[in-house]
Each structure stands twice: as structure tokens, then as C-alpha cells.
Structure 1
């Protein structure tokens, strides 16, 4: 993987860059649609490719391990071929999913024993096994196995967890050297900064991760319930330390406002389930604010879903029709809303890139943030 830093905004730390892998170019800042089990919910690959048009999508190690299971993915030649996707894929390590299974998992130094949410069977993830699973899945960018701490989190627990995440990182790196690539392209490894919402721990973890010398770095353990201002504080602490010449990935974030504010702090990569999850509940993100399409006010509104939208559905259908589909519980409504929201997220990060390259990001960002929180 190669990262080229092209430009930094003069009034913020926002960056425009380019990541190049064997599966193509990723222009940053970038939002990665979440394809948890090998599908971005509600979209055909053709719609995802031609309408949303992301440079990279995200898959999840925990879910793909449980189904379709790694032997099937290996037989297919990896996740790219299994889902017929010829662009970049990033896989997270399953650390967040293990965190979310708090009632059904036990964490030890050796790894994590957990109970499947599908059939109740027991499984064990270690740093070594997770590296092997991600080799088999075959994503272009793979993540270290870490522990994601909850919010709020006791300082002593956060410190103990952070040090274990660092030890697990060393084990990941050592094991990857022993496990060759399975397919005809290379994989790039990102470690993950932890430390909850404690500045000293975040700084210590960022130093440790930076010293690992990986081609890119991630920030985990945020967007787990903490106030947005604390997220931004932790991000700033970490981006002050992580190498400038390597991409920075803030995991699981977030709202359009969160994305813009974190771009301003020097983050390059994002993912979140929010665009599709909220779409399925009738929430549409637009450049003028948020629409709850289920509201009665849209019942007879025959104007386009979003006159300034960026996918074909925005002008093809009216607000009244989309509201009708939700009222009738028709799955098409969820599909239309998902395409719209993903299209908006991709427009947002790509317009941010345009503004960064033009040297106008800071003022544009401040104007957008005021609009994005409005309820229409």
C-alpha cells in the first residue's frame, strides 16, 4: 500500500490524500460503506458500484467467520470474488463485536471466548487466529485484534485493557510474518489506538501504535456513547502523535457532523452503519438538514426526495411516494432511502476533499455543520 499526502487545509488539519493498493486508488478523506456480512444492506453490488461509487467498503471478521465461514470464502478465492467486488475492502478484526457481546464473552490474555449470536455455539478469537481469518477473507486492509472498552470506563480498566491491546498487537505482527498472503495481491495491516476517554492513555497508546511502524493507523474505542466533544478531544490528542505521512482511520464514526469535525482534526478514513441503519428507519440525511420521511408533513409533498441529491433515486421519486412506501412497509422504501443516504455520505467526503484541495475547507465545513443538524 502507498499513501500520498496531497494537500493540507491552511486553517485546519484536514488532509487530502491518495491510498493505492492492488485493488485500486482510495481518495481521502473517504467514507467506507459497511458491508458487514459481504453485503451493504439493501443494495445490489451494481447499485453500490454505479450509484454510490465508493473506492472501498468494509467487511466484518466476526460475522464473516460465523457465516458464510472462512472455508467457503477460501474456496471462492476470497471475499472479493465471493461477493463480486473488484475494488478495495477493509475488514475490522471483530474487536468491536466482541465488545458488544459483553454478556456472552470472556476476555483473557490468551484471547476471547465468545458465544455465537446465531446458534449459541462457543468460539475463541486470539490475535493469531484473527490474523489467519483475515488472511483467508482476503481484505486489502486488515486490522489488529484489540479490546474495545465501554463508555464510561474506569481508568484502571482502560489502562489494563490498553496494555493488553498493545501486547495483542505485538502478537498480531509476529504471527502475520509467519502467515503468507493467500491470494494474488498484498494485504496491509493497521494497528488500533485505544485508551478510552483518558488523554494520557490515548497519548501513550498513540505513541505505541506509531512506533509499530505500520503502513496506516486506526483509532478505536470512540463513538461508543461518549459525548461528541470528548470524541473530538481524543481524536486531537491522537492525531497530534500519529505519523503525518500515513493514513488515519477513525473506526465507527459517525454522523455527517462527526465526520466533518474529525476530518478537520486530520482523519482520513471513516465507516459507520448509520447511513443504512437510519435509512431503514426513515431518516434521510441531506445537505440542508435531516428529513424524517415518516412524518405526515411529507404525505402530499410531490417534490423530489432531494433536489440537490447525488443518486438517481433523489430525482426519480417524490417525498410523498417514499413516505407511502414506508407507511405500507414496502422494502423498496428502505432500499431507496439507503441509496440516498450512502450517496449523500459519499458526496460529503468527496466535497470535503474538493474544498481541502481548494484551500476553502474550514469555512465550508463550518457552514455545513450548521445546516446538517437542522430538522426539515
Structure 2
């Protein structure tokens, strides 16, 4: 198994700035990864990813195995070549999507119906590995059990047990030396279960570690102790990835606990509906009050959208249902978030992360 290493170049408290190395390239941490569920970030192209400074783009195993199929992607040379993207790729296991479909779960795996045609499918830890090896991403995730919130304690305990057992099976099934494999920590919002899950997952010696099952409805005050319990048990020389988290307040709180990478659909979902992320909070550019506004979305933002277009123009595009509006605000939101990660990284190196964290929380907290 190829081992991802993370060279921690600076720390500020538990916050860390580093460079993670995969078989095919490096990425700076902390980092944010745009989500290209079906092989593309909605309304964006691979050229856009490059211009906004993305280094890793995600694909969704569940959706890609359904359409066009893992073998079809493999014939194109893997997910990156299929999408025309020269950067790094990561595929999740599809577990989060599968467990949202009210599946039948047993100790061996999970049975579910396709949202595309209602057909029945079976997923096991070994099957998830095989599918992702054919998809060919640089980093793949093990199949985990992601219980909903709220869930009873016995449901969370069972999810932790199965996640650990499935992780061991996934590690044993993993064959591609050019493809890194990350384990996943579960445990709900219970710090003791989070610590237990992190210990058992770390003992399997994965290339990196995802922390799943957070930002699924719990408050930030509930998330932080659970996350702290997990990160305290994870190796310092491997990347730590908080899955599905993208709001600025949770990002800085997680970085403060030693998390290295993030992903979220929030940036593009908000963008499609006319909400922009800015240094002063959310801006709803569809509002009528912006009809005559000739300023950019965010005067402090250096992205291509803020450099060229006004709030008034974007409001007009939304008002006439022009798809370009969703594309432009999505580009801005991703560029703004990636720039936030660069600012976080620079502040850790400079020893001023605490100041930046306070600044972000004063707006987004």
C-alpha cells in the first residue's frame, strides 16, 4: 500500500499547515475540495477548477457506479482523465448516499435500490474497494456505516463496530499501490465513541483518516467535542479529513483541532440559489435591493467574478432565470472558500491563526 505522508510545516496550537504527498502529486493543507458528484462540479468544468485554485476534486462512487458505471470510467483511464482534470481526485465510498436510501444492512454489507431505475444492488466493503479501484481516483474511502441524527445509542454503537470491521476488510481488499486508502471514524456526537472509533481505525494504519457523520444536523457546540475526541487519537503524520463540512465557522473550529482537509456541496448549492459567501457573511444577490448595485459580490475578493461582474448584473441574471447566474456565483463561492483556506494556512505559518479564527467566527459564528 502506498502511504500518504503529511509534512507539517507549521503549527499554531493544534492547527497545522503542511504538504500531503500522494502517489501522483502533492496538495497543501489545510485545503478545501470541491464536490463533483457525477464527474463534474455543477455548472463548472475542469478548466474552472484550475483557475479557482482547486487541487483535489471529489467524485461520488454511488452515482458513478450507477451512471455511467465504473467500467466505463476505467475505459477512459480513470475519473481524472474522464473529466479532463489533471489535478488529484478523491472518491467517497458511496456509503453516505446509500444509507440515505433506507437500505437493508447486515454485518456483511448493505442492500439498496438505485434512485435511477429502482434496481437492487449489494455493496460490501470489498465491493466498494473494487469499484473505486476501477474509478481510479488518487484517494479512495472505505465503506462505513453512517447513522442518521438523532440515533439511539445502540444504533451508534453498532455503526462504530461495523465501520471498524468493514475498514479492516477494505484494507485487506485494497490492491492498487498508486491509490491511497483512507479509513473513516464514526461515533455520532459521543466523544467516547468517537475516541474508540478513531483508535480502532488508526490501529489499521490507513494512508489518511476521514471523520464522517458530523455536520448532519448537530450544532457546532455538539460537533466540536466529538471532533476533538477523534483527532486526539489520530496519527499526526497522516491527513485528517472532516467529510462534508464547508461552512466557514466549522472549518476554522476544525482546523483549530488539527483537521487538514474538507469538502462540501454547500458552496455550489448556495450559488445555484443566489447566495454568495463573503467576508461580511452571506449575500443574497437575488434580492431586489441589489438591482442597482454596481459593486462586486465581495469588495475584498479577488476572484474572476468579483473582478468583472456587479451584484446588479448577477441579480438581473437570476431574475430572468439565466443559468449563467448560478455558474458565476458558484465559481465565486468556491474561489472564496479556497482563498479562505489559503488565508488560514498563511495565518498558521505566521502564528496568527487565533486572530483569523476570531475574525471568521465574529461573522459566521
Matching residue of 2:320: 328
Where do 1:15-94 residues align within 5 Å?
A: 15-50=16-51, 52-94=52-94
Matching residue of 1:216: 208
What 5-or-longer segments of structure 2 have no aligned partner?
Answer: none
Q: Which moved more, 1:16-25 or 1:343-352?
A: 16-25
**Alpha-carbon contact 1:276-1:338 (below 8 Å) kept:** yes
**Alpha-carbon contact 1:203-1:237 (below 8 Å) kept:** yes
Post-superposition offset of 1:288: 1.9
Post-superposition offset of 1:132: 0.3
**Alpha-carbon contact 2:278-2:297 (below 8 Å) kept:** no
Post-superposition offset of 1:254: 2.5
**Alpha-carbon contact 2:71-2:135 (below 8 Å) kept:** no
Matching residue of 2:220: 228
Other structure's SS at 2:59 match = strand
Matching residue of 1:170: 168
**Alpha-carbon contact 1:223-1:254 (below 8 Å) kept:** no
Other structure's SS at 2:238 match = coil
2:355 aligns with one of 351, 363, 371: 363
**Alpha-carbon contact 2:240-2:261 (below 8 Å) kept:** yes
Distance 2:5 2:205 in 1: 14
Alignment length (residue pairs): 362
**Alpha-carbon contact 1:287-1:372 (below 8 Å) kept:** no
The alignment status of 1:246 with 2:238, answered yes or no, reads: yes
Post-superposition offset of 1:21: 1.9
Distance 1:180 1:328 in 2: 49
Other structure's SS at 1:128 match = helix
Where do 1:1-376 residues align within 5 Å?
A: 1-9=4-12, 12-50=13-51, 52-102=52-102, 105-176=103-174, 179-180=175-176, 186-372=178-364
Distance 1:337 1:117 in 2: 29
Distance 1:264 1:114 in 2: 38
Distance 1:362 1:295 in 2: 34
Post-superposition offset of 1:180: 4.0
**Alpha-carbon contact 1:301-1:320 (below 8 Å) kept:** yes
1:91-123 alpha-carbon deviations (Å, 9 max, x no partner) = 110111012112xx2111121111111111111
Post-superposition offset of 1:141: 0.8
Other structure's SS at 1:91 match = strand
1:288-312 alpha-carbon deviations (Å, 9 max, x no partner) = 2210111111111111222221321
**Alpha-carbon contact 2:96-2:146 (below 8 Å) kept:** yes
**Alpha-carbon contact 1:8-1:356 (below 8 Å) kept:** yes
Other structure's SS at 1:191 match = strand
**Alpha-carbon contact 1:193-1:218 (below 8 Å) kept:** yes
What 5-or-longer segments of structure 1 have no aligned partner?
Answer: none
**Which TM-score applies when normalising by structure 2?**
0.97
- Would you identify which runs of 4 or more consecutive aligned residues in structure 1 move more than 6 Å? none
**Which TM-score applies when normalising by structure 1?**
0.94
Distance 2:118 2:145 in 1: 22
Distance 1:167 1:368 in 2: 39
Distance 1:322 1:160 in 2: 48
Other structure's SS at 2:17 match = strand
1:290-348 alpha-carbon deviations (Å, 9 max, x no partner) = 10111111111111222221321112111011011111111000000000000001001
Distance 1:99 1:65 in 2: 16
Distance 2:300 2:289 in 1: 20
**Alpha-carbon contact 2:5-2:237 (below 8 Å) kept:** no
